[in-house]
Structure 1
Amino acid sequence: MSSGVEADIALDAAVVLSLGMNRVLGAAAGMAASGADALAALAEGRAEAREAALREAADYEEAVRATLDVNARIAALDASQRRAAKAHDLSAEVALPVPLTLSGQSAEELATWCAATGDALSRAEQQISANIAAAVAGQIFTVPAAALQSALPEAGRSGHAEPVTDRDELARTLARVLSRVLHDTAEADREHIAEAAGRLVAARTASEAEGHLSEVRLRVQAANRHTEAARAEARRLAEERQAEQQAEAERRYVLETIGAAFGELGYEVDIGFETMTAQDGTILLTKGNWPEHAVKMRIDQAEATLRAAMVRDGAPQSEEERRVDIEREREWCDAFEAARARLAAAGVRSDVRWRIEPGRHLLPSAPEAHRPKARSRQRERRRERPQGSGGETS
């Protein structure tokens, strides 16, 4: 290749896994080491060791994500209980498990904690729903919530008593029905249920009370469907955000790895992150002894391709300048192949689709091939400015 090349690029599974975990945890809990082990095995050609490291990393990733999900459930339940306490003046408070801080636990330890804590959370969720239900029913019938809580069956049980005209019994039946409302039901749905439940106060016969209770049950079912749909939508949006963040992390890794590879080969590297939301990145390569030449590279993340072209400042004016062009093309050709080897060791595979051989075409002209020194020094200072763990980004 010389003045033009296009290559498919792909990240090794070890890189993808490590980037995902580093994004979530900031390289905590040993994930960085697992990814490094897999990459080292890849570079050394140790296939079995690489596969073992990848399996270990994948198992750990699954355990970590499960732990984060359980921690999120704890936070959501705590928030629901606090809102309910404020809205209904709840005196009873259900003790919740303490979220787990990730600090190097093994995958097995995390899985064990998730199983035990998940069961405890399910019981707590049922009890919180029962407490809220008792408070709402007590407010409607002016019955102490404590009396209704003690009369409730184990939370989550589906059976209910036949309503009678006795107000206390009717309040207990209502509390059982309301205990099925999911803890994170929207306030509008709760108000819709409460409006139907309020009609029970005026019921004069068992038949009339049963009719009102049937309406409450229907509204509870509808509210729970709305809540499940809202949960599903929240999960979908979260997955979309995670996918976008992962794609951005992979793009940055590719750009920075390419920049590092050519930097080691003596090129001045200018990574063109123009905006924080750019879907692709550009790289400009120059050298001190290339006053009129440069290489423009572009990474297209959507197509997973790398495109590169050598350019010069203006058209050649003599055969000597044309000879220098071809010499620069050959030099760039050798550098590209050397960089590909470095990229492969870092988990970035590049499979060339097509290339233009040295001297086949005149180099395209572009002003980027000649950058004033002041501009070069300005960009160099910008690269040296502290940027955190991710380096200079778009």
Structure 2
Amino acid sequence: MSGPKCTTYRRDPALTTAMLEAASQQAALREAARQEEATRRALLRAAAERDRVVQEVKALNARINAFATSCEVVRVRYGPVITTKAPVILQIGAQSTRELEAWCTRVDKQLAAADLELRKQCARAIAAQLFAENSSPGAERQLVDAAELFEERDSVEASAAAAERVAAGAAVREEMEQTLARVLARLLPDCTEEDRRSIRDAAARTTGAATSGEASSWLVELRHRVQQANTRAEARRGEVDEAVRLLHVLESGRGAVVEAIRDQLGEVVAGRAVLDESLRRQAAACRSEVAQQVEQRYVIASVTDALSGMGYQVSEGFETLTVSAGSLRLTRGDWSEHAVNLVVDQEGGELRTAVVRTTAGHDDDAFRVDVEREEQWCASFHQLRDRLARAGLATEVQLATAPGEVPVPLVASPPAPAVRSRAEQRHRAR
């Protein structure tokens, strides 16, 4: 026997048809809840992935802006020999995440190719300009002396005739120009004007060297200056990328301080300022504040969504108050005299709730109705905790009072956004 082939079962007689039906419905509800949770998590993962890709698009847009500026700077200096153009910036709209990813991949390659072409064009222009400036009766003699360096030959025939030296000088001149162009082509286009002047000076001294030894020394110095300039340029690129990502995080933040930091980061992205440690610390503080704001909005949205599915509504005209102060008022269609005040305390990580009267009770039956509403809210609150748990928000009751233990307060108008005392805030908390 390889395993069970047929198995009989027998229902417990104590399980009635109604019980079985109820159990089946509960199983279906649990499965629906599992599917709903899987869908919610998939949507959250998709949202996080899109957010990552949007950040990449913004970083590439900043690089395109910087590259376009570099193109214009070198075009002004060297004229129409610079033909490279920057890719077109993408306006983020209704594109799908996949479309944005494809654009990033395509533009990243385009930028790399354009960057290389711009460096080559700029290097050729610099080399040609330097040799034009160094054209003199003694230039051919110097170039022949430098042939050992630039042609990488073991020796130069000292006994060659003058005509041969002139001819060799022209060839060496061409080889030197190509060598300089190769070295200068390594220079990133977004280096500073100060670095450009320093590098051009070293290149000029290389082309004007009187001996091969002097030319060799200046060529080494030229390579060193190019490397240093590139290191500084890459550091600035890193600062811009960091500033772009900080701006993205702070995009949903509110308040004058956050806006001021966004303005400063914008200056860094535009290349008009540096991302120093002071700005980094301020941005980090703002990022923490914005994270708290986002968390509070998520809690409020989760609470509102959960309670809406349970028959509660946010009172009309309270939407702004809900977002700004973390406070909301809940009502029900079958509640004519009662509501629930709910405060999200971000600092304390608390949900404070209280059943309140919106109109005064005038008969002996008012207390009974108060107790009924509190009992109804207690049952709803247990459901709310379950729904919040599915939304990733664990809750633990710290303070509770039994229905009818404390008189329900009369609060005819919405709670003011001003901060109240903790004792008052915790009153009737559940």
For residues 66-113 of structure 1, the C-alpha deviation after alignment (integer angstroms, 9 at most, x for no partner) is 566555544443332122212333433125555567765683x66666
The whole-number CA distance in structure 2 between the counterparts of 1:182 and 1:334 is: 66
List per-residue Cα deviations over 1:108-164 (Å, max 9, x = no partner).
x666665555444322211101112222333334369xxxxxxxxxxxxxx975599
Instruction: Label 1:190 to 1:370 Cα distance change in 2 as closer, same or farther (>3 A).
Output: farther
Which residue does 2:351 correspond to in 1? 307
Deviations 1:243-294, CA, capped at 9 Å, x for gaps: 444745554343244345556514535654787xxxxx52142658668x86
Give the letter aligned to residue 344 of structure 2: R
51-60 or 195-204, which deviates more: 51-60
Question: In structure 2, what is the equivalent of residue 19 of structure 1?
Answer: none
Give the CA deviation at 1:307: 2.4
When the two structures are superposed, what TM-score results if normalisation uses the length of structure 1?
0.57
CA contact (8 A) 2:328 2:342 kept: yes
Contact in 1 for aligned 2:297/2:323 (Cα 8 Å): no
Which of 77, 83, 94 lines up with 2:84 in the alignment? 94
Deviation at 1:217, TM superposition (A): 0.9
What is the alpha-carbon distance in structure 1 between the residues aligned to residue 407 and residue 191 of structure 2?
Answer: 62
Q: Among 375, 379, 398, which residue is 1:334 paired with? A: 379
| Of 258, 271, 274, the match for 2:303 | 258
| Greater radius of gyration (CA) | 2
Q: Residues of 1 paired with 2:247 and 2:188: CA distance?
A: 26
1:215, distance to aligned residue in structure 2 (A) = 1.3
Aligned-partner Cα distance in 2 for 1:271–1:364: 30
Give the Cα–Cα distance (whole angstroms) in 2 for the partners of residues 197 and 364 of structure 1: 88
Q: Distance in 1 between matches of 2:406 and 2:340?
A: 10
CA contact (8 A) 1:259 1:283 kept: no
Of 199, 209, 212, 1:203 maps to: 209
Q: 1:326–1:359: 8 Å Cα contact kept in structure 2?
A: no
The one-character-per-residue Cα deviations of 1:328-367 (angstroms, maximum 9, x if unpaired) are 64343234334456657xx73332222433339986999x
User: In the aligned structure 1, how far is the partner of 2:247 from the partner of 2:64?
Assistant: 22
Going from structure 1 to structure 2, the CA distance change for 1:195 and 1:325 (only over 3 Å counts) comes to: farther
User: Contact between 1:97 and 1:120, CA under 8 Å: does it hold in 2?
Assistant: yes
Residue 229 of structure 1 and its aligned partner are, at CA, apart by 1.9
Q: Which of 123, 126, 129 lines up with 1:139 in the alignment?
A: 129
Counterpart amino acid of residue 221 in structure 1 = Q
1:223 is aligned, of 229, 237, 240, to 229
Contact (CA 8 Å) 2:355, 2:373: kept in 1 or not?
Answer: no
Structure 1 pair 348–222 and aligned structure 2 pair: CA distance change class (3 A): same
CA distance in 2, matches of 1:60, 1:139: 48
RMSD: 4.9
Pick aligned residue for 2:402 from 359, 364, 379: 359
Q: CA deviation at 1:206?
A: 1.7
Secondary structure of 2:115's match? helix
| CA distance in structure 1 between the aligned counterparts of 2:100 and 2:383, rounded to whole angstroms | 43
Q: Measure the CA separation in 1 of the matches of 2:323 and 2:100.
A: 41
Greater RCO, 1 or 2 (C-alpha within 8 Å, sep 6+)? 1
Q: Structure 1 pair 142/338, CA: closer, same or farther in 2 (3 Å)? A: same
Contact 2:205-2:218 at 8 Å conserved across structures: yes
Change (3 A) 1:256 1:137: same
Give the structure 1 partner of residue 343 of structure 2.
297
Note the residue ranges of structure 1 that are not aligned, 5 or more in a row. 1-40, 145-158, 276-280, 314-319, 379-394
Partners in 2 of 1:229 and 1:176 — Cα distance? 23
Residues 258 and 343, structure 1, Cα contact 8 Å, conserved in 2: yes
C-alpha separation between the residues in 1 aligned to 2:74 and 2:125? 9
Amino acid at match of 2:220: S
CA, structure 1 residues 241+202, in 2 after alignment: closer, same or farther (shift >3 Å)? Answer: same
Q: Does the 8 Å contact 1:193/1:220 carry over to 2?
A: yes
Determine helix, strand or coil for the equivalent of 1:357.
coil
Number of the residue aligned with 2:327 = 283
Aligned residues: 303
In the superposition, relative to structure 1, how do residues 181 and 212 fare at CA in structure 2: closer, same or farther (>3 Å)?
Answer: same
